[in-house]
A = this chain, B = another copy of it.
Amino acid sequence: MPRYALKVEYDGGPFSGWQWQDDRPSVQGAIEAALARLERGVPRIGAAGRTDAGVHARGQVCHCDMAKDWAPGTLMNALNHHLKPSPVAIVAAASVPEDWHARFSARERRYLFRILNRRARATMEAGQVWQVQRPLDVDAMRQGAAHLVGRHDFTTFRSTMCQAKSPVKTLDALDIAEVETGAGREIHVSLSARSFLHNQVRSFVGTLEKVGSGSWPPERVREALDARDRAACGPVAPPQGLYLTGVGYPEDPFA
> What residues make up the interface of A, taking CB atoms closer than 8 Å to B?
9-11, 56, 58, 76-77, 80, 83-84, 87-91, 112, 118-124, 126, 128, 182-184, 243, 245
Contact = CB atoms under 8 A, between A and B. Distances in A.
B123 A10 contact: yes
Nearest to A13: B124
A89 B120 contact: yes
Nearest to A88: B123
Given A9-B120, A76-B120, A80-B121, A126 B87 contact: yes
User: Which of A80, A120, A122 has most B Cβ within 10 Å?
Assistant: A120
A76 B128 CA distance: 23
B124 A128 contact: yes
Contact of A91 (B77, B88, B120): B120
B120 A80 contact: yes
User: Which of A80, A83, A122, A182 has most B Cβ within 10 Å?
Assistant: A182
A124 B80 contact: no
B182 A58 contact: yes
Contacts of A112: 182
A89 B121 CA distance: 6
25 contacts: A9-B120, A9-B124, A10-B123, A11-B123, A11-B124, A11-B126, A56-B124, A58-B124, A58-B183, A76-B120, A80-B120, A83-B121, A84-B121, A87-B123, A87-B124, A87-B126, A89-B121, A89-B122, A90-B120, A91-B118, A91-B120, A91-B184, A124-B128, A182-B243, A182-B245
A184 B10 CA distance: 14
A179 to B, nearest CB: 12
Contacts of A126: 11, 87
Given A9-B120, A84-B121, 4 more contacts: A58-B183, A87-B126, A89-B121, A90-B120
Contacts of A128: 124
User: Which of A56, A123, A128 has most B Cβ within 10 Å?
Assistant: A123
